[in-house]
Amino acid sequence: MPASRASRASGALRRTLRDTFGLDALRPGQREVVASVLAGHDTLAIMPTGAGKSLCYQLPALHLDGTTVVVSPLISLMKDQADRLGELGLDASTVNSTLTRREERAELERIGGGGSEFVFTTPERMSDPAFLETLGSATIDFVVIDEAHCISEWGHDFRPSYLALRECVRALGDPPVLALTATATDEVVEDIRRQLARPKMRVVRTGIYRPNLYFRVERVTGDEQKRAELLRMLAALGGSGIVYAATVRHVEEVADYLWSEGVDAGRYHGKLRKAERHETQERFMTGGMPVLVATNAFGMGIDKADIRWVVHYDLPGTLEAYYQEAGRAGRDGEPAECVLLYDLQDRRTQLFFLGGKHPRADEVAGVYDALRALGAQDAAVPLADVQEAARQGGRGVAKSKVRVVLAALKDERVVRETKGVRFRLLEADLGPERLEAVARGFAERGERDRQRLAEMEDYARTVRCRWRVLRDYFGEATEEDDRCGTCDNCVHPVEERIRLPEPEDAPVTPARRILEPGLEVRLPQDRTGIVEALEEGDVVVVRLTDGEVGRFGREFVEPAGD
């Protein structure tokens, strides 16, 4: 770190921490992130919910000259953060779709005049050339990208508007970048680096383990049993919490069911009117509504510390999504429960979502044809024109998929992007082989998505420590015999739950060995498979050789080869 920045990071830094933020010391990981930002390094901070990610940019920003730009996908969150900074006597501006024209004009004038220490905005607004020009008139010390997993094509909450951020940051003079997220596998880390063109971005991980969170899985069969189990759990859990469902239909059905059973439950999903969503969120956040049934449209960046439990009514598509959503419980450090209601049939919903997630070969061709039809080989054309031409071009390509295809074509050096909103075609006679190669790339991502769904199912069925499964998935080293003591499999080991009682003097024979995951077994009708999990009631979950998963009584399952 240069001497000038090193001096800023000493006594003055500690005084700011104490006098402005009322804190005596930084938490683990915060010190490393702040030092990296002050030294001018591109940095990716991977820190769990409640670990204090906001302070990682707020503190160094006050010791650097210029304006700090914070890009966030959540308008409600940026308002909360800007309001808090205002209460601390710090200048913060917000620029998003909620402002009136007069309010926006006033904010832009303040930013252009250098009167804002912080500017909060959305990734969509960052693609606006006029807004970039206003930002460019100020001195930008660094750019913060919150919820950075949204950048990654592998990330669990992929958002196409994030793909423009590389060019937007470049248009601001290429200041350093601080990316923040609660979760990222090694694959996602590398994709964030690639998408932002920051190959040397430093990574600071503080670990995902939070000992106050108790993880457990309740296995159910069918919606009737699932609803009954949910009702039983809510009566036992107490406090406020979130029930996550995978679809709008399930949110409506579960909320209606809980209401019919006398539970004061709200509902939240993207198809509700904005006013209703706002009212529901306010009631839940202020404690006026103890139970909220929601899709994943609710929760990212939610700052409610006393959520005592999170129940997943449906199986999430990935472990990243599950940990992000479950991790909204217990931000105050007090004990909280994270429960997954698991039905083997839940995978069908997620497979349906995956079926339309990635662009097909005909959609890739549709975007390329739209570029040619617009004359993009002669002059750069606006993104909105490409989206409209691709939609009307016979293949009906969705706007979000157009942006994804353009990003892939840019990586293939078929198009050039300028300021995130205009595209020029570099190859006007692209052969079918090149387009097929791009389409194969999307097909490979779809296969990886299915693998991640399988890993989520493995978590639901495992008899291992659930915290260890999560930590292994996110690349954290654990001891072979680690038992966290805060998950159902550690508190109630499977051998205690389903081992069949035997006479003390009974001889041990191979046929009566205890079944365990990974063991090859024989089943009726000469079928074979591998044990995947053991359930209460002497039920064995087996993946058959044809790939299907079945549940069998212990008496019908024998170790193969005995």
Domain assignment of residue 199, yes or no: yes
Predicted local distance difference test score (pLDDT) of residue 154: 72
Q: Which residues of 91-125 are buried (b: 16+ CB within 10 A; e: fewer)?
A: bbbbbbeeeeeeebeebbebbeeeebbbbbbbbbb
For residue 398, the domain's CATH number is 1.10.10.10
What pLDDT digit, counting tens, does each position of 319-378 carry?
999 999 999 999 899 999 999 999 988 888 888 888 888 899 999 999 999 999 999 999
**What is the pLDDT at residue 419?**
66
Answer for the pair 94, 81: CB distance below 8 angstroms, yes or no.
no
Among 332, 352, 343, 341, which residue's Cα sits nearest to residue 293?
341
**Helical axes 399-411 vs 383-392, angle rounded to 10°:** 110
Q: What is the DSSP string of 307-329?
A: EEEEEESS--S-HHHHHHHHTTS
- Among residues 496, 498, 491, the alpha carbon closest in space to that of 467 is found at 491
Query: What's the rounded Cα separation, in Å, for the pair 28 and 43?
Result: 16
Is 466 part of any domain? no
Read off the pLDDT of each residue in 144-162 and give the average, rounded to a whole number: 83
Domain count, the chain: 4
* Residue range 96-134, pLDDT digits in tens: 888 888 999 999 999 988 889 999 999 989 988 889 999
Per residue, the 3-state secondary structure of 265-305, as one string, reads: EEEECCCCCHHHHHHHHHHHHCCCCCEEEECCCCCCCCCCC
- CA-CA distance, 202 to 205, in Å (whole number)? 10
Q: What is the dihedral of CA 274, 280, 282, 287, to 10 degrees?
A: -170
Tens digit of pLDDT for each residue in 253-301?
999 999 999 999 999 998 999 889 889 988 999 999 999 999 988 877 6
- Of residues 496 and 338, which shows the higher confidence score? 338
Residues 52 and 161 occupy one common structural domain: yes
Domain CATH code at residue 259: 3.40.50.300
pLDDT of residue 420: 57
Element (H, E) at 231: helix 222-237
- Tokens representing 181? 């997220």
Instruction: Please give the model's pTM, rounded to 2 decimal places.
Output: 0.79
Looking at 291, 324, 353, which one is the last position of a domain? 353
Question: Is 468 inside any structural domain?
Answer: no
244 lies in the same domain as 299 = yes
Calculate mean pLDDT across residues 170-180: 95
Q: Do 28 and 7 share a structural domain?
A: yes
Structural domain includes residue 297 = yes
Which of 205, 232, 267 marks a domain boundary? 205
Q: Of 75, 33, 31, 29, which is closest to residue 48 (Cα–Cα)?
A: 29
Determine the Cα–Cα distance for residues 490 and 285; give it in Å rounded to an integer: 33
Whether residues 190 and 286 fall in one domain: no
Q: Is residue 483 part of a domain?
A: no
Looking only at the bridges linking them, the beta strands covering 336-342 and 43-46 are unpaired
Domain final residue, candidates 333, 353, 373: 353
> At 561, is the pLDDT very low, low, confident or very high (cuts 50, 70, 90)?
low
One domain for residues 217 and 332: yes
Same domain for 291 and 236, yes or no, is yes
What would the two tokens of residue 40 be? 């001018």
Q: What is the pLDDT of residue 504?
A: 45
Q: Which amino acid is at 451?
A: Q
Q: Are residues 19 and 122 in the same domain?
A: yes
Task: Name the 3-class secondary structure at 80.
Answer: helix
Q: Would residue 451 count as lying in a domain? A: no
Does the residue 475 lie in any domain?
no
Residue 536's pLDDT is 61
Say if residues 149 and 183 touch (Cβ distance below 8 Å). Answer: yes
User: Using an 8 Å Cβ cutoff, are 515 and 477 in contact?
Assistant: no
Q: Does residue 194 share a domain with residue 131?
A: yes
| Ramachandran bin of 262, using left for φ above 0, alpha for ψ from -120 to 50, beta for the remaining angles | left
Averaged pLDDT of the chain = 86
Q: Are 308 and 238 in contact (CB under 8 A)?
A: yes
Regarding whether 349 and 259 lie in a shared domain, the answer is: yes
Same structural domain, 78 and 175: yes
Strand 265-268 and strand 291-294: the pairing is parallel
In a shared domain, residues 281 and 307: yes
Q: Please name the residues in contact with 514: beta carbons below 8 A apart, sequence gap of 6 or more.
A: 495, 499
Full residue range of the structural domain in which residue 39 is found: 3-205
Q: Which long-range contacts (CB under 8 A, 24 or more apart) does 301-305 make?
A: 301/72, 301/74, 301/76, 301/77, 301/146, 301/147, 302/77, 302/328, 303/77, 303/80, 303/331, 304/240, 304/328, 304/331, 305/50, 305/331, 305/332
Inter-axis angle of helices 361-373 and 399-411, nearest 10: 80
Q: Is residue 337 part of a domain?
A: yes
Residue 184 has pLDDT above 60, yes or no: yes
The CATH number linked to 528 is 2.30.30
Q: How far apart are CA 49 and CA 69, in angstroms?
A: 21
Clarify whether residues 124 and 223 are in a common domain.
Answer: no
